[in-house]
Structure 1
């Protein structure tokens, strides 16, 4: 008889995170539908509303995404009137992303919609903070592990 303890799916933290992630994606898909935004586009917009203008490289650093992943996302945001992209005057290899006036005007509507959806979940501020702290701790521990095993 093997000495290895059997692994059960419902005991796996990684599976819980995976399942919650799928449910969050569906949640955001519904919340963002009126704005024709996907979740990755939404997090890009959150970052731009906070820090714009940004280079593609800077945005990628904030979101932990490479330019190959960001470029199609940014093209779609641009085609839908959320952003503009232009070459930097000081270094034409650098693409600068700026918000359009329309994106600036829609910001509060997007925030209100997402916040209203969060109200439906009924999380107290303390529960939300505890979840956030736990996820941050897990992220840090995974980063530490991954850095030590490179």
Structure 2
């Protein structure tokens, strides 16, 4: 029996993957708490981050969707809500009406800036005890895992 009072028959591989999932879920939950102050959800925040990092603050909806790994239906709802509050603009591509461009607005950039300090506090809480070298090692391992194609 483990400390938590249940028999753990998972392999070390499963336990590692479950720890990664639990950490990601906890981070999302804690982030969502302070994002509420800005009337924004975690996925909406991530769309703004992707657009802010994109050339000229814009990208196609398809690319943002691919980067975020969410369904097209969810992406449509997220972007509609962001547009409604003035954080992004959505427009058709001149070359193809089926292609939608998303562009972060100055208001969207401002909300990202305002969220930035609090976000850093949450991130530091998890990683402050680790050296930059150790963090680089962790990042390298996680990127390797993410690069594995599982069919």
TM-score range, shorter chain: 0.7 to 0.9
Counterpart contact for 1:82–1:103, Cα < 8 Å: yes
Aligned residue runs from structure 1 range 111-150, under 5 A? 111-121=116-126, 122-124=128-130, 125-141=132-148, 143=149, 146=150, 149=151
What is the Cα-based RMSD across aligned positions, in Å?
2.3
TM-score by length of 1: 0.78
Q: 38, 43, 66: which one pairs with 2:41?
A: 38
2:99 aligned with 1:103, yes or no?
A: no
Q: What runs of 5+ residues in structure 1 fail to find an aligned partner?
A: 1-5
CA displacement at 1:85 relative to structure 2: 0.8
Deviations 1:27-57 (A, max 9, x none): 2112322222222112211110011211111
SS in structure 1 of the partner of residue 97 of structure 2:
coil
TM-score by length of 2: 0.78
Q: What runs of 5+ residues in structure 2 fail to find an aligned partner?
A: 1-6
Aligned pairs, how many? 139
SS in structure 1 of the partner of residue 40 of structure 2:
coil
Aligned residue runs from structure 1 range 1-150, under 5 A? 8-9=9-10, 11=12, 12-51=15-54, 52-121=57-126, 122-124=128-130, 125-141=132-148, 143=149, 146=150, 149=151
